A and B are shown apart, each in its own frame.
Chain A
Amino acid sequence: MKDLLQQADEIPVTLVVALAYVTMAFLTNPASPTPEQLHQHGWLMATLVSDGEPWRLLTCAFLHGGWLHLAFNTYALLRVGPALERSLGSVRMAALYLVSALGGSLAVCLVSGPFQPVVGGSGALFGMFGAIVAMQMRQSRSTLGFLNYEGPRRVLSLILINLLIGAIVPFISNTAHVGGLIIGFAFTFLFLTGTNKTDKLFPAWRVALLALTVSLTLHTLQPSTRWDWLWRQARVTEDQERREQLQFAATRSFQGKTDVKRYDIQFLEAQMDSYDRELKGLSTK
C-alpha cells in the first residue's frame, strides 16, 4: 500500500492514464465494445471532428476496442511511462501524452478516409517512444551518438517492429502510430529537453512546429479540401449558386477527378444520406 502511494506520488500521470484506460473500458463494455458505445464515448472519425466534435481528437486516445487491445496498450504504458515520467516530470509527461495523442489523431484525420473510426492510445504511446529517442539524442554528445548504446537501440527496434506489425495487420492504424511518433519526437526534441543555445535555428524550429500543429488542427476542423465537409457546407448554404459550387467541389474531391456530371452529384447525395443515417443510428442507439 505504501509502495502504491509512493508510486502515485512519483508517477501520477502514468497511473491516471492507465486508470482512464480501464475506466473507459468498463464504461464501454471491456470484452467487446459495440460501435455505438465507442461512438458515444468519443471514438475518432474525421467527419465528426469537422462536424463540431473536436474533443474526439483526444478522447479516442483513452478508448480501446477490446481486452487484448486494452491489455497491450496498458502494458506498454506501464513499461515505458514510469521511467519517462520520472525523467520528464509529471506536467511535461501529461503534455507529451496529449500532444502525441493529438498528433496521431491529426494524422488519421488528414490521411485516412473521413468515415474511418479509430480508437486506442497507441498513437500517444508511439509519441512516448519518440520522446525517448529525442531525449537520448539530446543527451548524447553527438546527434547519432546514442546509437552506440544498447537501450536506445532496443527502443528503435521496438518502434520498427511495431510499425511493421501495424503495416501487416489490417485493422491497426499505422497512420496514427506514425503521426504520434513524429509529433512526440519533435515536441520532446524542441520543447521538453531545453534550448539548444549553439543552434541559431532552434527557436525558428520551435515556432515552425507550433505553426504546423495549429495549422493542421484548424485544417482538421475546417477541411476545405475534403468532400464530406464541402458537402455539409453545401447543405447549410442558402445561396443557390454557392451551394452548386460546393456540391461540384465536393463531388470532385470525392471522385478525385476533374470532370463531374449531374448524376455524379446525385450518386454522392445518396451516398452521403446513407452515411448520415448510419451516424444518426450510432448516436441514438
Chain B
Amino acid sequence: MADSPGPESIPLRTRLPALLPLGAVWVAALLPVAFYLLHWSDPELVVSLAITAKRLVWQAMLVVAAAVVVGLLLYPPLPAWLRRFIDRTRTKWSSDSAPLTRALSELKHFETAQKHYEVARLAWTRSDYRLVGGHAKRSVELEATMPHAQHLLGHFLLRMKSLPEARNAFEAAERLDQGHAFGEALLHVAHLQHLTGDLDAALTTFVRHEREHGSSPRSNFWRGDALMAKGQMEAAAAAFVAAAADPKVRLTAEENWFRAQARVRCWRIRGGKAASNEGHR
C-alpha cells in the first residue's frame, strides 16, 4: 500500500511558510554572486547597492518592529493572530511523530479506513497537508459511514478552498452523526452554505446550531458575516457585538481570533453608521 494515495495539489499560500525561509537562504546565497558579477561592469554601483541595501534592511527592520508594537497595542486581530500562530506552531512542533510513523508503516501491510483516518488525523496535527488529503479521502472511500473521517476531510477541503466538496463532507458528517463533534460539523455546514452562496439555508442552519449547541465567538462571527451578506446590517451588528463580548473565561486561541475580528467589525459598522448619520445631517 502506498504511503499517500493520490497526490494533492496544495495551494501556494499553505506551502508559503515552508517555502519562504528556503527562498530567503537562496536569495542570501545568490546575492554575493550577483554583486561579484555586477562589480566587473560597475564597482560603484555594487558598493552603492550594498550600502543602500544595508540601510534599507535596517530601516525596514525598525519600521516592522515599530509597526508590530503599534499593531499589538492598537489592532486586536494582530495579537490574536500571533497567539493563534504560536499555538499552531507549538502544536505542530510538539506533537509526537512516532504514532504517525507507526501508522504509516502499518498501512504498508494492510489498509483499513480507520488506519487511513489515523494517519490523516496525526498529519493534520502536524500540519502535514500532503499526507492529510490522500489518507482522509481514502478513508472515506473505504468506509463512507465514519463521521470523524468525513469531518476531517471537510476541514482539509475547506483549507484547500474546495468549498462545495468541503460542504458535502461536513454535511455527510452531520448526517451520519447528528451534532457531531459537539456541533462543530453543523457549524461548518452553516459556514460553507454561506460561502457557497446558499444564504437562506446558512442562516437557518446557524439558528439551528445556536439552538442545539449554544453560541461562541466563532459561530456569532460567521453568523454576522452571513447576515451582512444578506444585507441585514442591524442583525449582523448584533451578532458581531455578541461575538466581541467579554467572554469572562479564557478563550482558546482559535475562538479568540474570531472575537478579535468581531471587535474590528463592530468598529467598522459603528464607523459606517456614524458616517451615514453625518451624511443625513
Partner of B94, one of A145, A246, A250: A145
B27-35, B108-116, B139-147, B222-230 - interface stretch:
B27-35
Interface size, chain A (Cβ < 8 Å)? 35
Chain B residues in 8 Å Cβ range of A256:
51
Smallest Cβ-Cβ distance to B39: which chain A residue: A224
Q: Who on chain A is nearest to B45 by CB?
A: A249
Bound-state CA distance A145–B35 (Å) is: 41
Enumerate chain A interface residues (CB-CB to B < 8 A).
Answer: 141-145, 198, 200-201, 204-205, 208-209, 211-212, 214-216, 218-219, 222, 224-225, 227, 230, 233, 245-246, 248-250, 252-253, 256-258
CB atoms of B46 and A208 under 8 A apart: no
Q: Which of B's residues lie within 8 Å of A, judged by CB?
A: 18-19, 22, 25-26, 28-33, 35-36, 38-39, 42-44, 46-48, 50-51, 90, 92-98, 101, 128, 130
Residues on A with beta carbons closer than 8 Å to the beta carbon of B128: 198
Closest partner residue, chain B, to A230 (CB atom): B43
| A252 touching B48 in the complex, CB below 8 Å, given contacts A145-B94, A208-B22, A208-B26 | yes
Q: Which residue of B lies closest to A256 (CB)?
A: B51
Chain B residues, Cβ within 8 Å of A198: 97, 101, 128
Given A208-B29, A209-B25, also A249-B44 (CB < 8 A): yes
- 10 residue pairs, one from A and one from B, having the closest CB atoms: A219-B32, A224-B39, A225-B50, A249-B43, A143-B93, A212-B29, A211-B29, A215-B29, A208-B25, A249-B47
Contact B33 A218 (CB under 8 A): yes
- With A212-B28, A225-B46, A245-B44 as known contacts, state yes or no: A253 contacts B51, CB within 8 Å: yes
User: What A residues does B93 contact at CB under 8 A?
Assistant: 142-144
**Complex interface: chain B residues within 8 A of A248 (CB):** 44
Cα distance A6–B95 in the bound complex, in angstroms: 41
Q: Which residues of A contact B35 (CB under 8 A)?
A: 219, 224-225
**A246–B41 alpha-carbon span in the complex (Å):** 11
Give the CA-CA distance A233 to B44 in the complex, in Å.
Answer: 13
Q: A198-B97, A208-B25, A215-B29 are in contact. List 17 more A-B contacts (CB 8 A).
A: A141-B96, A142-B94, A143-B94, A144-B90, A144-B93, A201-B22, A208-B22, A208-B29, A212-B28, A215-B28, A215-B30, A219-B35, A219-B36, A225-B46, A230-B47, A233-B43, A246-B43
What separation, in Å, do the CA atoms of A222 and B32 have in the docked complex? 9
Q: How far is the CA of A161 from the CA of B82 in the complex (A)?
A: 28
Give A225's nearest chain B residue, CB to CB. Answer: B50
**Chain A residue with minimal CB distance to B3?**
A198
**Dominant SS among interface residues on chain A:** helix
CB distance from B20 to the nearest CB of A (A): 11
Q: Which A residues touch B36, using CB under 8 A?
A: 218-219, 222, 224
A250 to B33, CA, bound (A): 19
A42 to chain B, nearest CB (A): 24
CB neighbours (8 Å) of A258 from chain B are 48, 51
From the candidates B22, B94, B130, name the one contacting A205 in the complex (CB within 8 A).
B22
* Residues of the B chain whose Cβ atoms lie less than 8 Å from the Cβ of A246: 43
Residues of A within 8 A of B98 (CB): 141
Q: In this complex, which of B31, B44, B46, B92 has the most chain A Cβ atoms within 10 angstroms of its Cβ?
A: B44
Residue of B nearest to A257 (CB): B51
Of residues B38, B42, B43, B97, which shows the largest number of chain A Cβ atoms within 10 Å of its Cβ? B43
Q: Tell me if B130 and A200 are in contact (CB < 8 A).
A: yes
In the complex, residue of chain B having the shortest beta-carbon distance to the beta carbon of A217: B32
Contact present for B43 and A224 (CB under 8 Å): yes
- Tell which of B25, B38, B51, B101 touches A212, judged by Cβ atoms closer than 8 Å: B25
**B43 CB contacts on chain A under 8 angstroms:** 224, 230, 233, 245-246, 249
Complexed CA–CA distance, A142 and B100 (Å)? 11
CA distance A145 to B96 in the complex (A): 8
Q: Which residues of B contact A141 (CB under 8 A)?
A: 96-98
Nearest opposing residue in chain B for A220, CB measure? B32
Give the shortest distance, in Å, between B141 (CB) and chain A (any CB): 23
Bound CA span A198–B103, Å: 13
Is there an interface contact between B26 and A211, defined as CB atoms closer than 8 Å?
yes
Task: Point out the residues of chain A lying under 8 angstroms from B97, CB to CB.
Answer: 141-142, 198
Using Cβ atoms and an 8 Å threshold, which residues of chain B touch A257? Answer: 51
Is the beta-carbon distance between B18 and A201 smaller than 8 angstroms? yes
Distance of A200 Cα from B25 Cα, bound (Å): 17
- Nearest-neighbour CB distance to chain B for A50, whole angstroms, equals 12
Q: Is the CB of B51 within 8 A of A252?
A: yes
Question: For the complex, what is the distance from the CA of A216 to the CA of B31, rounded to whole Å?
Answer: 9
